[in-house]
Structure 1
Amino acid sequence: MDPSPHPLSQFVLKMHSRCDLACDHCYVFEHADQSWRGRPQVISGEILDLTARRISEHARAHRLDTVHVVLHGGEPLLAGRARLRRAAENLQTALSGVSALDLRIHTNGVTLDEKFCDLFAEFDIKVGISLDGDRAANDLHRRYRNGRSSHDQVLRAIALLNRPRYRHLFAGLLCTIDLRNDPIAVYDALAELAPPRIDFLLPHATWEEPPARPADSMSYGDWLLTVHDRWTAAGRPMGVRVLDSVLRTLRGANSLTESLGLAPVELAVIETDGSLEQADSLKTAYDGAPGTGMNVTADSLDAMAAHPGIVARQLGLDGLCDTCRACEVVQSCGGGLYAHRYRSGSGAGGFMNPSVYCADLKQLITGIRDREAQRMSVPRLPLEDAHLGELAAGFGGADAVEALARHELTVNRELLAAVWHDSPHDATGTAAWETLAVLDAEAPESVDAVLAHPYLRPWAQRALAGDAEAGPIAMRGVAELAAAVLLRSGRAGTVTVPTGSGVLRLPTLGALVVGEAGEARVTAGGDEGFRVRVSGREHLVGRKAGSDQAWLTRHRFELSGWAVTLEDTDPWRDAHGYPVRARLSAAAAEEWRSDLAAAWEWIRRELPAYAPGLAAGLSVVTPLREAATGADISSAARDAFGAVAIARPGEPQTLACLLVHEFQHVKLGAVLDLTDLYDPGCERLFYAPWRPDPRPLEGLLQGTYAHIAVVDYWRARRRTAAGGAEAHAAEVQFARWREQTVEAVRTLAGSGALTELGERFVTAMGETVSARLTDPVSAGALAEARRTAADHKGLATQ
């Protein structure tokens, strides 16, 4: 193990050492350590200045991407707006150009008002509120000194944070568990307030002062498992830190809380007098337990990081007692919160003990583990029958396609996890992965938006291929994804990304040409946009296009009912088997926009059964290089759900055909990711009316499914043609493809290699295309169509 101290990146800054409530479970005022009595009530300006300087020095020395600071107390709002402003200004100034600042405040909320919220909005200070549940639960402990309830004032504060103007500041709710409270009633009361996160806290206790366990009450493990079941049944609508941490550690990821997992602690507390202390939770152990004897006036944060009490919490398994090291759930539990291990006396004295909540934590972790195993093992239909029926018929509405998209996102998440697990980690990649993990809990919608990018899978497959480039590709891709998520989330922070070819790729956003290979520090935050520093040069990418000429934003078009992006920046878009176009000029992109708008309107008007699914699932069109012969070129990559590639054709109607045709492949590929429609062991080749070469069974299935849309396209073209040669040509194409697609369906049905579900699927395909046989077609057109089909078959089977 590396013996050097782990740098500190999380700081609790005590703004005020007193409180306007008298909560009887407060670890600051009611537990063993009473050092608050001898400290200044309010932190001084001098201490604020020194603290900001110390944090900046430490961040610069250790090249920290992000520094996390929580303004705390006592009750920090008692420090007043002027002092809170000075703290924010000092920290922002000191860390500018050094590290991103994640600034938060934790408050009881009773005096929170619009003026405070305006201040917090100015400095992007996220706000956490303490609330123990409904009125009855909250009033067990969280009251004023005269016994009056604080519940109404806290609800008023939360309502303020839930206003659209301030909602982005709302960090979540903190709730201390009391076994006398009904866990479902507590969870429901908190969930009703729509917090982005709930943090359930075990009441601080030690072996000397064990936690309350009222007679006939459930255990703390049972209490939290009851919350878990309620939360899961509701669809897990918000983050729950302790439950998310168990789920994450069971998957091998880091915890989101210091009370679980084996990750090193990176936390220091700065008291109102400048004292540097360990975590506040240690105040429950004995008087003076958090103390280090250090102060910002004389000591650096490097010295604080080397303090034995800090180092002891950075040793992972080596810092635990024998009982914990031998436990089956130690990777998730991590021994529990350090303070909860305390026992006085010799022998087993100190913190080398299991947590006083050991049995509860084991019950919680094994309970969640077993529930997750059961949940994953319950057989489910891959799609609702109604959705599968829509797709089998060749169509699929928005709900059906969105169900496919959700599954494809799951596949992408699994691939990303596999890349991380199977690839060698470097420091840059590890930091990026940790950023992704935090954002997955705090901004899951931003993570999903980036991980749904169609070209994530081609990157992941290459990273997993095991060639010499796999490691660099893997870590660079993880960092690119993390940076893109951070920027989409709107949160402050910095991610370091290796640029490789001298281009910084930000999936779903664009790319920045940095001119040389190196490490790019991508810093988010601020109204002006984001900054990228590479080799001493800084790029400012503003919210308005063209703010930096090196920035290549993606061309995103908001059409009527369909949002689509022209992808000409992502290097992994080269997955379609044809050469892709280089970066489009503004004029070329505008031509594409015009043609896409016209094609989309044509689809909505003439092929309405295909439009809702296409709008729900096709988000990217990748321009291909045009053929020298002028032939139409299009492609759908089997592993790029949500994208098609097309060489811009001569007219919008042809573009409409290529869009619906290729999106058929996209939909069927996603269905095949969900379930087997045929025996993958079938090695026979089959005649395909649209190919010169015989095709394997999946190739025939894909082509047949796509040609359902081709038949409907020519059916619509015949209907809308002006007459003459155009109408005749459309009629011939319609006559040919309806008959040959029916023939292909019969070949599939007679292959003997379809699964039971595959037989149902192909039957529905056949019903759709066979219904087109009732449309009248002229004898001349039918004869010409059959001659063309016969000629093709003769050449293909020679």
Structure 2
Amino acid sequence: MSGPFGAFRQFVLKVHSRCDLACDHCYVYEHADQSWRGRPRVMSDETVTWASLRIAEHVKTHGLPQVTVVLHGGEPLLAGPERLGRIAGELRAALDPICDLDLRLHTNGVRLDDRFLDVFAEYGVKVGVSLDGDRAANDLHRRFADGRSSFAQAIRAVERLRGRPEVYAGLLCTVDVRSDPAAVYRTLAELDPPRVDFLLPHATWDAPPPRPTPTAYADWLIEVFELWLAEGCRPPVRMFQSIIDGPSATESLGLQPSDLVVIETDGAYEQADSLKTAYDGAPATGFHVLRHDLDTVARHTGIVARRQGLAGLCATCRACPVVDTCGGGLYAHRYREGTGFANPSVYSADLYRLITHVRDRIDMRTHTLPIEELARGFGGARDVAGLAGSQESIRRALLASVSGQGTPPEAWRLLETLDRDHPEAVRHVLGHPYVRVWAAEFARAHPGHLGNIAAAAAVHAGASAVVPVEVIGGRVHLPTLGVLEVAGNGDHLDVRDGRFSIEGGGPWHPVRRLTADGFSIALEDTDPFRDCHGWPAAPRLTDDEAGRWQAAFTAAWELIETAFPRYAPGLRAGLTTVTPLTPGEAGRDISSTARHAFGAVAAALPAGPDVLALLLIHEFQHVKMGAILDLLDLYDESDGRLFYAPWRDDPRPLEGLLQGTYAHIAVTDFWRVRRHEVPDPGHVQFARWRADTAAAVERLAESGAMTPLGERFVAGMRETVAPWLSEPVPAAAEAAAARRSRRHQAAWTLPGR
């Protein structure tokens, strides 16, 4: 978010307003809004130029690292390959120098041929195809105007895409409960799509969907889900993954604020296309690309209404136990004449049944989520192991999402084979914290690293394979194992029975381990993607430096086990890696975590083992909270306010306040215990942090932005902190702590801050 009006990150360009099919469920032509009739058929060159400039302007204004542009229709292929090439080229020229452009096109596939595919490959355009399943299902709606089937042409298009995996984005299927869900799923799965989207047919309370039973759509999707689950969750299905992994990756689920805007062929800005099903003119904004910038569009009342998150839902939805996942459903599906969009989704019964079924099947039961102990700031081995298990699902989903984006197909095939024959080896490598960092942040720039991941799994499995690998800075990194220097041009690793070699291979630098009392973690100074902690990663340690880390860890772990036994089991279950950081200025302790690097704590080696113990306990709180937020919606993400945090000099967004408060439960607890051994500064530290942490808990509780589950979580935090306020502390220490808190808040509120 950037203030109350968040930036757009998804832009739909209507490059052609007509279609060569006559699908009777199409929201553009067959629903309430008929504005297509007055629009030009093709987006003009001038409009394309202005659209590119407006998007680029928006990217620069908000410092956006990545945006998605979808070429859409109607049927965009009617614009022809030459025009589409010009449009893609202009977008690339405007946006590639300033951000990562994810350029896509969605089509019915009827006209897709090699001329188009060559253009899309040249400009890096990913192509998705609408296909409603097998012939019987597809022919229910997707026909030509004369009644002919489009199935053969669509299948031919998908087969062409399978031969050009670099441009194959996936398949979109609109659910019709008359079709056979098993036949639909198997037809789609056999086409090896990188992703499948199942869409509920657009409907409102005034024009409800055909419904033979009260939860017909949920029942249909549940049958597909069970097949998908039984067959290894392949291909990735965005709806199911959004329920399982969260936060939602689809506009139809979740509380995430909408960040999408449409630019029509005539240059008019519109809201999401799905609103065309509500009433005539529903998507209109009155703004135009020639006359208005995108920040102006972001202030449109309709756009703002779709960004209210939990606060924008009706009372029925806000009280629902699955609101954190459902989010009220697709905005358009809530419409009813007279009450507008202040209603549950017309599919609310289906969404509730589907979400609860999926959660039950993967042990995410709505009313029995094991968050109580975690909310109190602790969490035993079982609780943290549950978080770690959810991270595996997220990592697998992220890996699936980068499939076909330049990643070597041989690596995918090897990983699939190893996952079948040696699942523990694959699980071990995927558990490496920086695999997710690579998949989430660096896969586009370094797609070949998937080969390194597969090679590492092959080594652990004792398998034999020749694997294409990526060489970065003259080194081949194998996650969990170490880094191999390469002097020659070798780019394939030969793995044989747990050993490996490469042309020009030089010295091998293994990952060292820190061990204490049977607990072993990686001392990670080899991974090229570890530099993600907001502080420079240290270079490869010398043996003496590694020895000092081992000595400090031994003493720190002994202190944790003896003095802080409530934290030790969770650390054993979830802490896998310590990443050394470059030391800061003298006297300053440096430590950090990264949201995508579950299991890793980064730190510069502190002066004493007691400080290392504090850093590990403190930072692992952030690790846990990051995993919890991956799994659960605890707060309204559309809330863009900033809050005072007593441990920071800068104002923090709501998530930052939540993270910091949770971490400072452990900081407070550390000094609560240690003050008896180290009274100076222990008493002052305890007195200060208990008061400030308790105040931060109340700030969260009074924010009005916590979901029902978030309110439960904050109540658990309060349950831990509140009793500490009555523990006796020397009066002088209490006074000193109060002075420090007042000075910090006074400095924070100075004019100009």
What range describes the TM-score normalised by the shorter chain of this pair?
A: 0.5 to 0.7
For 1:362 and 1:265, locate their aligned partners in 2 and report how far apart those are by CA, in whole Å: 21
Please list every run of 5 or more consecutive structure 1 residues that lacks an aligned counterpart in the other structure.
377-409, 420-432, 460-476, 492-505, 511-541, 584-621, 628-637, 644-798
For 1:454 and 1:230, locate their aligned partners in 2 and report how far apart those are by CA, in whole Å: 24
Deviations 1:676-696 (A, max 9, x none): xxxxxxxxxxxxxxxxxxxxx
Alignment of 1:172-183 (within 5 A): 172-183=170-181
Task: Confirm whether residue 32 of structure 1 aligns to residue 22 of structure 2.
Answer: no
Deviations 1:735-782 (A, max 9, x none): xxxxxxxxxxxxxxxxxxxxxxxxxxxxxxxxxxxxxxxxxxxxxxxx
TM-superposed deviation, 1:575? 3.4
The answer to whether the 8 A contact 1:50-1:296 is kept is: yes
For 2:172, what is the secondary structure of its paired residue? strand
For 1:61 and 1:2, locate their aligned partners in 2 and report how far apart those are by CA, in whole Å: 10
Instruction: Determine the structure 1 residue equivalent to 2:440.
Output: 482
Change (3 A) 1:212 1:481: closer
For 1:438 and 1:60, locate their aligned partners in 2 and report how far apart those are by CA, in whole Å: 30
Task: Confirm whether residue 65 of structure 1 aligns to residue 65 of structure 2.
Answer: yes
Task: Confirm whether residue 366 of structure 1 aligns to residue 305 of structure 2.
Answer: no
The answer to whether the 8 A contact 1:336-1:361 is kept is: yes
Alignment of 1:487-636 (within 5 A): 487-489=445-447, 554-555=484-485, 557-560=493-496, 564=500, 573=512, 575=514, 625=543
Change (3 A) 1:490 1:138: farther
Match of 1:240 among 215, 226, 237: 237
TM-superposed deviation, 1:439? 3.0
Deviations 1:342-372 (A, max 9, x none): 0112xxx111110000111101111111222
Match of 1:279 among 272, 276, 280: 272
The answer to whether the 8 A contact 1:254-1:261 is kept is: yes
Deviations 1:309-344 (A, max 9, x none): 111111110010000000011001100000000011
The answer to whether the 8 A contact 2:132-2:138 is kept is: yes
Alignment of 1:394-409 (within 5 A): none
The answer to whether the 8 A contact 2:158-2:191 is kept is: yes
Letter in 2 for 1:72: H
Match of 1:231 among 228, 232, 238: 228
Instruction: Determine the structure 1 residue equivalent to 2:122.
Output: 122
Fraction of identical pairs, as percent: 51
Letter in 2 for 1:113: D
The answer to whether the 8 A contact 1:18-1:75 is kept is: yes
For 1:63 and 1:302, locate their aligned partners in 2 and report how far apart those are by CA, in whole Å: 13
Instruction: Determine the structure 2 residue equivalent to 1:103.
Output: 103
Letter in 2 for 1:183: P
TM-superposed deviation, 1:576? 6.6
Deviations 1:478-518 (A, max 9, x none): 75673344444479xxxxxxxxxxxxxx99999xxxxxxxx
TM-superposed deviation, 1:60? 1.1
For 1:139 and 1:218, locate their aligned partners in 2 and report how far apart those are by CA, in whole Å: 24
Letter in 1 for 2:301: P
Structure of higher RCO (CA pairs closer than 8 Å, 6+ residues apart): 2
Instruction: Determine the structure 1 residue equivalent to 2:6.
Output: 6
Deviations 1:17-62 (A, max 9, x none): 0000000000001000000011110001111111111111101111
Change (3 A) 1:322 1:85: same
Alignment of 1:97-176 (within 5 A): 97-163=97-163, 166-176=164-174
TM-superposed deviation, 1:15? 0.8
For 2:234 and 2:5, locate their aligned partners in 1 and report how far apart those are by CA, in whole Å: 38
The answer to whether the 8 A contact 1:258-1:265 is kept is: yes
Name the TM-score, length of structure 2 as normaliser: 0.56
For 1:97 and 1:437, locate their aligned partners in 2 and report how far apart those are by CA, in whole Å: 31
Instruction: Determine the structure 2 residue equivalent to 1:198.
Output: 196
RMSD, matched Cα: 4.5
Letter in 2 for 1:131: L
Change (3 A) 1:641 1:108: same
Alignment of 1:564-713 (within 5 A): 564=500, 573=512, 575=514, 625=543
For 1:181, what is the secondary structure of its paired residue? coil
Instruction: Determine the structure 2 residue equivalent to 1:255.
Output: 248
The answer to whether the 8 A contact 1:103-1:126 is kept is: yes
Change (3 A) 1:92 1:150: same
Change (3 A) 1:238 1:563: farther
Task: Confirm whether residue 300 of structure 1 aligns to residue 293 of structure 2.
Answer: yes
TM-superposed deviation, 1:192? 1.8
The answer to whether the 8 A contact 1:180-1:217 is kept is: no
Letter in 1 for 2:77: L
The answer to whether the 8 A contact 2:16-2:41 is kept is: yes
TM-superposed deviation, 1:167? 1.6
For 1:128, what is the secondary structure of its paired residue? strand
For 2:214 and 2:133, locate their aligned partners in 1 and report how far apart those are by CA, in whole Å: 18
For 1:335 and 1:570, locate their aligned partners in 2 and report how far apart those are by CA, in whole Å: 52
Deviations 1:67-115 (A, max 9, x none): 1011100000000111111111111111133110001110000110011
The answer to whether the 8 A contact 1:179-1:218 is kept is: no
TM-superposed deviation, 1:574? 5.8
The answer to whether the 8 A contact 2:130-2:173 is kept is: yes
Instruction: Determine the structure 2 residue equivalent to 1:657.
Output: none
For 1:115, what is the secondary structure of its paired residue? helix
Please list every run of 5 or more consecutive structure 2 residues that lacks an aligned counterpart in the other structure.
367-382, 404-411, 420-424, 457-469, 476-481, 487-492, 527-539, 546-571, 578-753
Instruction: Determine the structure 1 residue equivalent to 2:402.
Output: 443
For 1:451 and 1:32, locate their aligned partners in 2 and report how far apart those are by CA, in whole Å: 50
Deviations 1:536-561 (A, max 9, x none): xxxxxx978669xxxx9853752556
The answer to whether the 8 A contact 2:169-2:193 is kept is: yes
TM-superposed deviation, 1:244? 1.2
Change (3 A) 1:490 1:32: farther
More divergent stretch after superposition (301-310 vs 41-50)? 301-310
Letter in 2 for 1:73: G
Quick check: which has more Rg, 1 or 2?
1
The answer to whether the 8 A contact 1:507-1:570 is kept is: no
Letter in 2 for 1:226: E
Count of aligned residue pairs for this structure pair = 477
For 1:97 and 1:366, locate their aligned partners in 2 and report how far apart those are by CA, in whole Å: 45
Alignment of 1:346-361 (within 5 A): 349-361=339-351
The answer to whether the 8 A contact 1:509-1:553 is kept is: no
The answer to whether the 8 A contact 2:169-2:195 is kept is: yes
TM-superposed deviation, 1:2? 8.1
Letter in 1 for 2:76: P
The answer to whether the 8 A contact 1:454-1:640 is kept is: no
Letter in 2 for 1:362: Y
Task: Confirm whether residue 311 of structure 1 aligns to residue 301 of structure 2.
Answer: no
TM-superposed deviation, 1:308? 1.3
For 2:133 and 2:36, locate their aligned partners in 1 and report how far apart those are by CA, in whole Å: 28
Task: Confirm whether residue 82 of structure 1 aligns to residue 72 of structure 2.
Answer: no
Change (3 A) 1:49 1:438: farther
For 1:8 and 1:48, locate their aligned partners in 2 and report how far apart those are by CA, in whole Å: 18
For 1:580 and 1:188, locate their aligned partners in 2 and report how far apart those are by CA, in whole Å: 45
The answer to whether the 8 A contact 1:412-1:451 is kept is: no
Letter in 2 for 1:11: F
Change (3 A) 1:441 1:309: farther
For 1:373 and 1:416, locate their aligned partners in 2 and report how far apart those are by CA, in whole Å: 11
Letter in 2 for 1:575: L
Change (3 A) 1:372 1:553: closer
Name the TM-score, length of structure 1 as normaliser: 0.53
Change (3 A) 1:136 1:365: same
